Structure 1
Amino acid sequence: MAKVLLTGGNGFIASHILDILLKRGYDVVTTVRSQDRGEKILERYPHVPSEQLSYVVVSDIAQVGAMDQAVRSTPPFDAVIHTASPFTQKWDDPVKDILEPALKGTVGTLESIKNHAPTVRRVIVLSSFAALINYISPPKVYDETSWNPVTWDAAVSNPRLTYPGSKTLAEKAAWDFIQTRSPSFDLVTINPPLVFGPTIHFVPGLDRLNTSNQRIRDLVQGTYRDTPLPPTGVYLWVDVRDVAEAHVRALKTPEAGGHRFLLTAGYFSNKNLADVISTTHPELKDRLPRDAVDDTPADVYGFDNEKAKRVLGVTYRSLEESVRVTVSSILEIADRS
């Protein structure tokens, strides 16, 4: 697969996917929401020729036919990696800001590929552990058979369920599209939990960090020095570089077609993050919580991440390595802001 369409190329995870694709010789067209964001991507790769890297502006992926032009290309695309979906805890309208961009953006992209990109043989969708997690009756062990039971109405009415609902409903709709529409391409979904790691795309300041890394930012900034740590919430994590690697491996692994992949390096807690920072960056100790408590439940749910290891050959970085480079990345952004 030589030519790939990557949606949302200026995102946290997508920027790492793009980096790997270019280093391995793929030709990439990426979608962005504005010309300015596209130019920022090109600025990161001044020596990459335009025939290997370019962008297309798709200002509102939730609009009908928004991706029709983006999926057309000469030479044509072999695969599509779809990452463009909002991940934020701040919004004004749960439907317009979160649910519709995720759901309509995913289904609309698949529809455009089916109608206008007949050469595409594989579509990889970045989903989430949020599409697996069950807050009501959690399984003893999470794996690729697990599904979040959230409904549309619950996602609209309960802010705590809006983002998990967006990822769940979008992924279910993608699999339903494959089953009912029988396109010429197959589908792979990647389901990571909290994603830590270095920021390599342009962000104007620390307030624009990806949501997962914000908890590390808060520790670095001393937010919880004299106050209790917030609940960890989800106790699973993975490094962004491992998530990106899984997407690229899924492009060239025939056996991956038709499968979901839970990606996780294991457990963590907010106290674990503080402990690692004190080791990797001892100069920050005075900013870290003085009396942090590990809130990991004694009966915390299990997980099975063997499928990604077996099929995709994924290996996982350690929490110490991931936090170390994340903190260094945060300090670099702070210095230039």
Structure 2
Amino acid sequence: MTRILLTGGSGFIAAHVLDTLLERGHSVVATVRSQEKGQRILDAHPTVGKERLDFVVVEDIAQPNAFEKAVISDPPFEAVIHTASPFHFRAVDAQNELLAPALNGTKGILHAIKKSAPSVKRVVVTSSLAAMFDVAKPGDYVYSEADWNPIKEDEVDKNPTFGYRGSKTFAEKAAWDFIEKEKPGFTLATCNPPLVLGPVINHLASLDSINTSNERIRDLITGKAKESCPRTGTSLWVDVRDVALAHVLAAEKPEAANKRFFLTAGNYSNTEIVGIISDQFPNLKDKLPSGEALVPGDVPPESRIGFDNSRSKEVLGLTYRPLRESVVDAVKSLQGLLRGD
């Protein structure tokens, strides 16, 4: 059993990481922003004792020394999985809403580990395709772990998308720079997923507080998108359960040391998601867009993104769930929220 610190423990991906860690026999302490969120995590795992699951409050990861106390544990931590970072496209002030938490949080936890948690041997950081994607690349370009987003810091305020992409790029680069310059007693691995779909298992007050990736499915099943299918955007995707397992394997496997992992199951379109929901949930057909309303959600073959996910398969041993399974399970989980299950 390995004792692991999991940051951002109540997040969409982190909730699945937590369950995967527990299933694989690890002991976990999750960081959360409030006592209430921490208690929700404990309440969701009533049969797991405090020696295997606990939480610590870190109110603002952007603050200096935010993780100083969180990294200290008895028994001590052997690994850290850092998922805490904002992901949304509603930022008005990208520097303070996205860049500062992502950059300061990543640098802050790495410094805290080096200073106060010498037992930690592996740190896994949640990055993103956003840290790899380059809009200037041709349509048939094949992305891999070798790619970096060329965004400059003065571009992050152009729009919320630039803000998010910048936050992930600069935070991940800061992590690799730290390893190179500080030469700590731990190795690093980063997980770089694109759009993450799949079931929601973290407690939500309402569907309004759903993770950004699943907003499109929420809008489809509630009829909000009936008049116009949401635009697909970047056409790569992955299931949240595969992302969670990748984080855990990156913490467990010696051969994952100092590697990036591009996590993707392939291309998709929102039009395909509509088709899956229509097939699997006939009672929702009247809420779904059809005909001309589907056009914005389509992705023609020439616009689909090339990818090489071989490292995640060869080093981590991942296999990826199909889109149908991910969408069906996402819809079922959201229907449960609608019913108040």
Give the TM-score range, shorter chain: over 0.9
SS for the counterpart of 1:276 is helix
Match of 1:317 in 2: 321
Aligned-pair distance for 1:224? 2.5
Q: State whether structure 2 residue 223 is matched by structure 1 residue 219.
A: no
SS for the counterpart of 2:255 is helix
- Quote the offset at 1:305 in angstroms: 0.6
Unmatched 5+ residue regions in structure 2?
Answer: none
Match in the other structure for 2:28: 28
| Match runs of 1:48-87 below 5 Å | 48-87=48-87
Q: Higher mean Cα deviation, 249-258 or 89-98?
A: 89-98
User: What letter corresponds to residue 146 of structure 2 in structure 1?
Assistant: T
Give the 3 Å change call, closer, same or farther, for CA 240–287 of structure 1 in structure 2: same
1:180 lines up with 2:184 in the alignment:
no
Classify the secondary structure of the residue corresponding to 2:118: coil
Name the TM-score, length of structure 1 as normaliser: 0.97
SS of the equivalent of 2:213 reads: coil
Q: Please tell me the residue identity of whatever aligns with 1:166.
A: S
User: How many angstroms apart in 1 are the aligned matches of 2:37 and 2:280?
Assistant: 33
The root-mean-square deviation of aligned C-alpha atoms, in Å, is 1.2
Output aligned runs, 1:199-278, within 5 Å.
Answer: 199-225=200-226, 227-278=227-278
Q: Spell out, residue by residue over 1:14-67, the C-alpha distance to the aligned partner (whole angstroms, 9 max, x if none).
A: 000000111221111110001010001000011111111111100011111110
Match of 1:142 in 2: 143
- Residue deviations 1:141-178, cap 9 Å, x none? 00000111111110133332000110011000100000
SS at match of 2:62: coil
Alpha-carbon shift at residue 299 of structure 1 (Å): 4.4
Aligned to 1:28, what secondary structure does the other structure show?
strand
Residue 331 of structure 1 aligns with an amino acid whose one-letter code is: Q
SS of the counterpart of 1:212? helix
Note the C-alpha offset of 1:297.
Answer: 4.7
Counterpart residue number, 1:162: 163
Partner residue of 2:299? 295
Tell whether the 8 Å contact from 1:235 to 1:296 is kept in structure 2 after alignment: no
Kindly provide the CA deviation profile for residues 104-154 of structure 1, in whole angstroms up to 9, marking residues without a partner as x: 000100000000000100000010011111112357100000111111110
Runs of 5+ consecutive residues of structure 1 not aligned to the other structure: none
Cα pair 1:5 1:30 within 8 Å, conserved:
yes
Q: Distance in 1 between matches of 2:116 and 2:32?
A: 19
Amino acid at match of 1:241: R
Matched residue type, 2:307: F
- Determine which of 331, 334, 339 is the counterpart of 1:335: 339
- Where 1:278 maps in the other structure, the secondary structure is helix
Q: How does 1:61-140 map to 2 (within 5 A)?
A: 61-138=61-138, 140=141
Mean Cα displacement is larger for which, 99-108 or 139-148?
Answer: 139-148
Contact 2:197 2:240 in 1 (8 A): yes
Task: Tell me how many residue pairs correspond in the alignment.
Answer: 336
Q: Distance in 2 between matches of 1:299 and 1:202?
A: 36
Q: Are residues 1:151 and 2:148 paired?
A: no
2-structure distance, mates of 1:243, 1:146:
19
Q: What does the per-residue CA deviation read over 1:70-114, in whole Å, with 9 as the maximum and x for residues that have no partner?
A: 000111100000000001122342111111000000010000000
The amino acid of 2:144's aligned partner reads D
Q: Distance in 2 between matches of 1:216 and 1:206?
A: 11
Moved more, 83-92 or 124-133: 83-92
